[in-house]
Amino acid sequence: MSFFGCQEEDLKQDSTIYGTWQLVEIYDGGSPKPNQSVKNGYQLTITSSGTAITTNQTIGCSSTYEQLNGSFSLEQIDDKEAIVFEFYCPELDNNIEDVEFYLEFNDDLLVLTPTNRVNTCFEGCEYEFKKIADEIKQTD
């Protein structure tokens, strides 16, 4: 399925990305134990208004913050569906950190894999998130 078409099936899939996700597993190909379950993993909130919020500084900024706010866009990178986050990082000169991931769904999990352009996982890595809350839309 594609996020970039106009078919009804695509729109249904697109809407599932919105909500709050929690990291539940990391795959690290360079580790003796590549698949590692994560307890109390960080959270990532993706909204239909284009905002992104995370409780993990390593997804975008080098310093420790309780929460990072930013935005995201869905794109095609290397002919694959991808999500590009832009987080506000006060310690950076331009205050913005771009982070790119290939994006796929595996059953009820959101799987993010660093893109080839920014991948520092030479032996492969990916992050699996489980949805813990649907998006709450504000009404006027």
Q: What is the pLDDT of residues 98-131, one digit of tens each?
A: 788 999 999 999 999 988 766 567 778 899 999 9
- What are the tens digits of pLDDT across the range 52-93? 998 876 665 666 667 788 899 999 999 999 999 988 777 666
Identify whether 1 is part of a domain. Answer: no
Structural domain of 74? 8-133
| Residue spans of beta strands (DSSP E) within the chain | 19-28, 35-37, 43-46, 51-54, 68-77, 80-88, 96-106, 109-114, 125-134
Identify whether 138 is part of a domain. Answer: no
Identify whether 140 is part of a domain. Answer: no
CA-to-CA distance for 49 and 69, rounded, in angstroms?
Answer: 13
C-beta neighbour count of 116 within 10 angstroms = 11
DSSP 59: G
pLDDT at 42 over 70: yes
Whichever domain contains 73, its CATH number is 2.40.128.280
CA-to-CA distance for 18 and 134, rounded, in angstroms?
Answer: 7
Q: How many domains does the chain have?
A: 1
